[in-house]
Structure 1
Amino acid sequence: MKKPGKFDRNLIVIGAGAAGLVSAYIAAAVKAKVTLIEAGKMGGDCLNTGCVPSKALIMSARVAQQIRRAGQFGLRTVEPNVDFPAVMRRVHESIARIEPHDSVERYTDLGVEVLRGRAQLVDPWTVSIALNEGGEQTLTARAIILATGAEPFVPPLPGLEEVGYVTSETLWDSFSRLEEVPQRLLVLGGGAVGCELAQAFARLGSQVTLVEMTPRLLPPEDREASEVVERCLREEGVRVLVGHKAVACELDAVSNKRCARLDHGTGEETLEFDQLLCALGRRPRLQNYGLEELGIVDDGKLPTDGYLRTRYPHILVAGDLVGPYQFTHMAAHQAWYAAVNGLFGDIKKFRVDYSLVPRAVFVDPEVASVGLIEQDAKDKNIPVTVTRYGLDDLDRAIVDGADRGFVKVLTVPGRDKILGVTIVGENAAELIAEFILAMKHGLGLNKLLGTIHIYPTMAEANKFVAGNWKRAHAPEKILKWLERLHRWRRG
């Protein structure tokens, strides 16, 4: 494998999801000659099967739930009449409206060469592209970024193929062919995707059973947050089975009845369903890119360093392919490092900053977090002060009927330095942005407390939790002295 004396491109990017698009954009912005290769749809999972369609579905489901709650606002309560085909059409219309943001035309205008085809590494500098319209093209590049993303994990569950299933990737086309919402939906996996879709389909009229093998939903999140989510799901009619593991699926060939066997530790339970959704996480797309042959992938693993470089320093990775956080915003964050290190790493390279990674679960109420959570602090013996403010005390939350949830802040003992935040409540993913900014720039709770927040808004919760911290850390000696001073001045 001889390194070419000259190259066709400065950078080749394989995969046009969030990581690939941002990498290519950055390269074009600094006037590098860059080619972006994608065999499937532009925009990747987020646009086509992930963030965009799921949030469109969640919004329709939320409106349906608001109709059910009309009585709480002095209006007549009615059961929403869900037109499921129309809901799914709206999902696809939302995708279509956003598609131009990630289109071939837009990126071509930005200076990126976009090739539609399947890429494979021939050697560490050469990429062969089997073009979608036919033919083959071979290009060399000084640097290559792998941004091939991830795909839903489907467990080796006996009988699963026979009963049929959908994933977060396939349900959008599969369910678009249904005339009605699935009557009985079984969701395997109580993580973010499982909880979001379980709640959405329950609100649209499905009888939903949500199965999670661990003792609680949303295992990576704050324990109190997962308890709030589980309680709200149960109140909305979702049957939540934590501590249950699916062990097999069965199909009755005569009646076409589908069922799953669930092990709950002390025995088994059989559950009938009409549709099954696998939401058990995602695994990197590593196959058929020539990575094994070059030793970039070893025993299913993709080793990288802190600069996103593989065993070949000029071949870098970004996004869900590498993790450790499979979020669209993290893919975009990594893309900057991959592009800059790929183009300029021999001059100056940058280690990826994972110190502040926010995340959100778009259930209702939303869960958003950044930094440490309380359980992790306990498990790692990190001393923290926990300050909490309940949204049932917030004026705007009360009048909006959105008083479920809380703001929880972890700080350094005796100081206002923020180590972590969890918010559960209406628009939590928006509210946490203030804390992310504060943590990024070293601003403590005293600075938040001294910032004017508009009344009445949900954002006041951020100020009030800072106020709770301040009261708990009031200087008692000074206050006692002031009390004596005021008493003396009264005469």
Structure 2
Amino acid sequence: MAQEYDLVVIGLGSGGGLAAEFAAGELGLRVAAVERGRIGGDCLWTGCVPSKALIASARVAHTVRTAGTFGVTAGEPEVDLRAVWARIRSIQAGIAETDDSPDRFRELGVDLVEGSGRITGYRQVTVDTADGERRLDARYILVCTGSRPAVPPIPGLDTVGYHTNETLFEIDEPPSSLVMIGGGPIATELAQSMVRLGVPTTVLEMAHRLVPRDEPELADRLGQILRREGVDLHLSTSATAVRRGGDGVVVETDDGEFSAAGLLVATGRTANVQSLGLGELGVPVGPGGAEVDGRNRTLVPSIYVVGDAAEGRADFTHVAAHDAVLAVRDMFFPGRGAPAQLTPWCTFTDPELAHVGLTAAEARERHGRSAVTVHRHELAQNDRARADGTTDGMILVVTARDKIVGAHALAPTAGEFIHELALAIHFGAKLNELSDLVHIYPTLATGIGRIAADRSFETAEKYRSLAKLTRWMG
């Protein structure tokens, strides 16, 4: 006999967990949540949490190594990689025992169902559990199944052992050296961290720059920083075959061969939607996810899909969480849950590379070349950056007819202060309006105020003659 719910959530990662909490805890709905693995999903176990914990350890090692520039005796740090990986697992366990604890969800009233779920009707989910099939009927179904690493069809790849972000943090310590295929955010963050921790790392990226979706001017500068730190970076380089050999694995490319003890593949993501049964209900699905409308609804009005599982939505934890809550609002308060169209993101290298809105090229294509202006503030001109010894970076603001349409920053904590510029874009602010805000000194964010002030000074110049005339008439 089927059990009836207001909402069945499939997948308890960042999006599904928050949706279940909101629906059961805040709205008092009858909620069931289906999870085939560990609560917390990719973010907790293979993505955001372990990678940021790794980055923190790597930053400490880098600080020890470069302490001499601050008048402190420097030295080569003694890195215990096994201890670094143990710290990562400890942090994950702490979060799992609190925020992502099964008991916490049960206390909220969520019925947790362990097993693989598939959608067997417009308002029905069937779960394969350890005790057999269990049928759940629901007014609405929310799919939050995320994505998995995409594995490219490189000859020989399936015959050698390789890592992805799903396996790298499951081992006791990393290989003694690495070759990475891919130059997106995952590979870029990991490569810098590995080199800082003493693991020689080569990055092979087929595009002509790292993180190709980001502002090219800053992405190129980030590549230069990584090279200076010791990352063996090869751009415009495609892997053509993989085989065992050398220290462990050899990657053949159109630019020679590269060998290391281990191989990591970071070439994008594939949505986890193929086995859900959506296609049988007439919902188009593909590698990028299930097709949804502007409210994250599929062609079946009772079925919503969010996060990495939805085609066309950005593959970020914060997007999944944001859209999941909005989807629940839209189900029970129709018209209140349109997903945000402005998505900021950040690659957590050191310095961080943050992005919101349009790149300069995208702005010129959309608004016309003559309407677009690019405003820059070099960190070498920022007092806080000078004091902190972090002057290699830039804040870049893109305007169209003086309205802010894009903002990008290569700077420490860029992911924190980019939100001011995201808010400005969201509300259609003009650049000189930001000069009305008082920015705390000394901070990196004073660079935003400096850019805005410069634009205001340019406007004031136009009225210089009028000011003189007013003085004469007075």
1:194-234 CA-to-partner distances (Å, cap 9, x unmatched) read 10001110111111111110111111000111111100000
Report the more deviating stretch, 449-458 or 201-210.
449-458
CA contact (8 A) 2:155 2:240 kept: yes
CA contact (8 A) 2:274 2:285 kept: no
1:116 paired residue among 111, 114, 117:
114
Structure 2 counterpart SS, 1:247: strand
Matched, 1:258 2:262: no
Matched, 1:9 2:5: yes
Shift of 1:10: 0.8
Name the Cα RMSD after superposition: 2.1
- Aligned partner letter, 1:361: T
What residue is the counterpart of 1:329 in the other structure?
318
CA contact (8 A) 1:62 1:200 kept: yes
Shift of 1:131: 2.3
1:294 paired residue among 250, 266, 281:
281
Matched, 1:172 2:169: yes
- Aligned partner letter, 1:215: H
Shift of 1:87: 0.4
What residue is the counterpart of 1:202 in the other structure?
195
What residue is the counterpart of 1:192 in the other structure?
185
Shift of 1:335: 0.7
Residue ranges of structure 2 left out of the alignment (5+ in a row): none
- Aligned partner letter, 2:331: G
How far, CA to CA, are the matches of 2:286 and 2:92 in structure 1?
Answer: 36
- Aligned partner letter, 2:33: L
Paired positions, count: 468
Shift of 1:340: 2.1
TM-score (normalised: structure 1): 0.90
- Aligned partner letter, 2:102: V
Matched, 1:237 2:205: no
Shift of 1:112: 2.0
Structure 1 counterpart SS, 2:353: strand
Shift of 1:49: 0.7
Distance change >3 Å, CA 299–CA 467, structure 1 → 2: closer
What residue is the counterpart of 2:129 in the other structure?
131
Structure 2 counterpart SS, 1:293: helix
- Aligned partner letter, 2:405: L
CA contact (8 A) 2:9 2:144 kept: yes
Distance change >3 Å, CA 30–CA 472, structure 1 → 2: same
How far, CA to CA, are the matches of 2:221 and 2:112 in structure 1?
Answer: 46
What residue is the counterpart of 1:482 in the other structure?
467
How far, CA to CA, are the matches of 1:81 and 1:172 in structure 2?
Answer: 21
- Aligned partner letter, 1:198: A
Shift of 1:373: 1.1
What residue is the counterpart of 2:422 in the other structure?
436
- Aligned partner letter, 1:455: Y
Q: How does 1:85-124 map to 2 (within 5 A)?
A: 85-99=82-96, 100-124=98-122
CA contact (8 A) 2:182 2:267 kept: yes
How far, CA to CA, are the matches of 1:463 and 1:306 in structure 2?
Answer: 35
Matched, 1:279 2:266: yes
CA contact (8 A) 1:188 1:211 kept: yes
CA contact (8 A) 1:367 1:422 kept: yes
Structure 2 counterpart SS, 1:221: coil
Report the more deviating stretch, 99-108 or 297-306.
297-306
- Aligned partner letter, 2:464: L
Structure 1 counterpart SS, 2:298: coil
TM-score (normalised: structure 2): 0.93
Shift of 1:359: 0.6
1:465 paired residue among 442, 451, 454:
451
1:48 paired residue among 30, 33, 45:
45
CA contact (8 A) 1:222 1:374 kept: yes
Identity of paired residues, percent? 38
Report the more deviating stretch, 457-466 or 278-287.
457-466
How far, CA to CA, are the matches of 1:122 and 1:13 in structure 2?
Answer: 14
How far, CA to CA, are the matches of 2:207 and 2:399 in structure 1?
Answer: 29
1:106-127 CA-to-partner distances (Å, cap 9, x unmatched) read 2222232222222122222221
- Aligned partner letter, 1:11: L
Matched, 1:373 2:354: no
Q: How does 1:388-467 map to 2 (within 5 A)?
A: 388-413=376-401, 415=402, 417-467=403-453
2:340 paired residue among 353, 357, 367:
353
Distance change >3 Å, CA 290–CA 50, structure 1 → 2: same
Shift of 1:11: 0.7
How far, CA to CA, are the matches of 1:271 and 1:441 in structure 2?
Answer: 49
Shift of 1:419: 1.0
1:443-488 CA-to-partner distances (Å, cap 9, x unmatched) read 4333321222222222211211111222233342x21343466689
Report the more deviating stretch, 224-233 or 136-145.
136-145
Structure 1 counterpart SS, 2:166: coil
Shift of 1:58: 0.5
1:379-422 CA-to-partner distances (Å, cap 9, x unmatched) read 44543221111111111110100111111111232x3x211111
How far, CA to CA, are the matches of 1:473 and 1:168 in structure 2?
Answer: 50
1:65-99 CA-to-partner distances (Å, cap 9, x unmatched) read 11111110011220111010110011111111222
How far, CA to CA, are the matches of 2:393 and 2:199 in structure 1?
Answer: 25
Shift of 1:320: 0.7
CA contact (8 A) 1:223 1:375 kept: no
Residue ranges of structure 1 left out of the alignment (5+ in a row): none
Distance change >3 Å, CA 341–CA 487, structure 1 → 2: closer
How far, CA to CA, are the matches of 2:343 and 2:197 in structure 1?
Answer: 32
How far, CA to CA, are the matches of 1:67 and 1:320 in structure 2?
Answer: 38
Shift of 1:42: 0.5
CA contact (8 A) 1:11 1:343 kept: no
- Aligned partner letter, 1:165: Y
Structure 2 counterpart SS, 1:333: helix
Report the more deviating stretch, 48-57 or 449-458.
449-458
2:332 paired residue among 340, 343, 347:
343
